[in-house]
Amino acid sequence: MSGVRVLVGTRKGAFILTSDEERREWNVSGPHFPGWEIYHLKGSPADPNRIYVSQSSGWFGQLIQRSDDGGQTWDPKGNEFCYEGVPGTHQWYDGTQHPWEFKRIWHLEPSLTDPDVVYAGAEDAALFRSDDGGKTWNELCGLRDAKGPLWQPGAGGMCLHTILLDPADPNRIFVAISAAGAFRSDDAGQTWLPINKGLRSEFELPDPAADVGHCVHSIAMHPSRPNVLFMQKHWDVMRSDDSGDSWREVSGNLPSDFGFPIEVHAHEPETIYVVPITSDSHHFPPDGKLRVYRSRTGGDEWEALTNGLPQSDCYVNVLRDAMAIDSLPSCGVYFGTTGGQVYVSPDSGDTWTAIVRDLPAVLSVEVQTLP
């Protein structure tokens, strides 16, 4: 019988939520790694029992854990993330140059085909790859040749938080970096191109045509149409129909074009989801109403999804990696909040229920659709 395994990273541990395909009754496992910040967990598409975890703390630094039995047992793997060669510098808040310093792994992206290959997105922004199941890591340092000295951290740090692997072209990788922008490699990560044409950041960047420096919060792709990308930016929801070569705004009638996550429906490539948040300084839902917005037209036209979500006095945030989509026939949508709730909609967003309500602040949500 098919079902789902929802992987939840929080400020104080990881939780695994499992259900059958109805997604009405849930088993909650955890906390795994209690007390540690779990920025991200993600399962291998090539081996659903293999799960990679980014575990960190201010005291003990970065760890990478791996499970090969669906999250029942874990083993620490390699945690040596060294920038290739002379680390170099990037821009600092005061405009001076600052040495690249490793802080943590924000995102782990396992290969679509090889369970031993996994990519890691780091703060300070860099992309690492492991070919041995997480034991050793090597930087794909060509990324920082894409004007790396001009990147500078935003308020949340300079993190590489999104990694998209093109299912149609194993040499094509997309990444996004806060306060730097989106980038594409067409040669398996050796060389990189900024793909930020059409993005506007008029309050931050004096040059409206700047090719780096844009604060991209998340990008998403439907596997059947990898040349179409969707982006939630610091301001604006954007769409590209040419693999990121150019972008146009599709914010349309959203109550706020600011937000963090963006996801695509599993079976409808023109159906996308965002969670609007009031401005970049308040970081809570407009009017205290927690609403997911869905567009069934690939952007521009949006409808508020509210059935089952709190519609008064709600001041949580939904972070960039805290939304996920399953691929069951009735597509499921999941998101977690900084208030510790994880919501599920088993009907593409029409109705919502909270699976759990009192977790630590949720940093990430991923879902595995199990056979």
Partner 1 sequence: MIVVVLPAHLRTLARVDGEVEIEVDGPVTQRSVLDALETGYPALRGTIRDHATQKRRPFLRFFACGQDLSHESPDAPLPDAVGQGREPFLIIGAMAGG
* Contacts to partner 1 by CB under 8 A: 35-36, 57-63, 76, 79-82
Please say which residue, 63 or 228, places its beta carbon nearer to partner 1: 63
Least CB distance to partner 1 at residue 118 (A) = 18
Sheet containing strand 75-76, edge to edge, reads: 37-44, 47-57, 61-67, 75-76
CA 277 from chain center: how many Å? 16
Q: Which of 81, 8, 6, 82 is nearest to 39 (CA)?
A: 8
Please say which residue, 61 or 170, places its beta carbon nearer to partner 1: 61
Contact 219, 233 (CB under 8 A): no
Least CB distance to partner 1 at residue 36 (A) = 7
Please say which residue, 133 or 213, places its beta carbon nearer to partner 1: 133
Contact 289, 268 (CB under 8 A): no
Contact 324, 365 (CB under 8 A): yes
Least CB distance to partner 1 at residue 66 (A) = 12
Long-range contacts of 199-203 (CB under 8 A, 24+ apart): 199/231, 199/233, 199/236, 199/238, 199/247, 200/235, 200/236, 200/249, 201/233, 201/234, 201/235, 203/235
Please say which residue, 3 or 156, places its beta carbon nearer to partner 1: 156
Least CB distance to partner 1 at residue 56 (A) = 10
Please say which residue, 81 or 258, places its beta carbon nearer to partner 1: 81
Q: Which amino acid is at 216?
A: V
Least CB distance to partner 1 at residue 59 (A) = 4
Least CB distance to partner 1 at residue 60 (A) = 4
Least CB distance to partner 1 at residue 63 (A) = 7
Least CB distance to partner 1 at residue 133 (A) = 15
Which spans in 213-327 are helix H? 279-282
Please say which residue, 87 or 286, places its beta carbon nearer to partner 1: 87
Least CB distance to partner 1 at residue 32 (A) = 11
Please say which residue, 87 or 154, places its beta carbon nearer to partner 1: 87
- CA distances to 50, 124, 323 from 159, rounded to whole Å, are 25, 6, 18
Please say which residue, 36 or 260, places its beta carbon nearer to partner 1: 36
Long-range contacts of 187-193 (CB under 8 A, 24+ apart): 189/127, 189/129, 189/140, 189/142, 189/143, 190/140, 190/142, 191/142, 191/145, 192/142, 192/143, 192/145, 192/146, 193/146
Contact 212, 149 (CB under 8 A): no
* SS3 label, residue 8: strand
- 344 membership: H or E segment, kind and range: strand 342-345
Please say which residue, 11 or 267, places its beta carbon nearer to partner 1: 11
Question: What is the b/e burial string over 277-289, where b = at least 16 CB atoms within 10 angstroms of the residue's CB?
Answer: bbeeeebbbbeeb
Least CB distance to partner 1 at residue 338 (A) = 14
Please say which residue, 4 or 63, places its beta carbon nearer to partner 1: 63
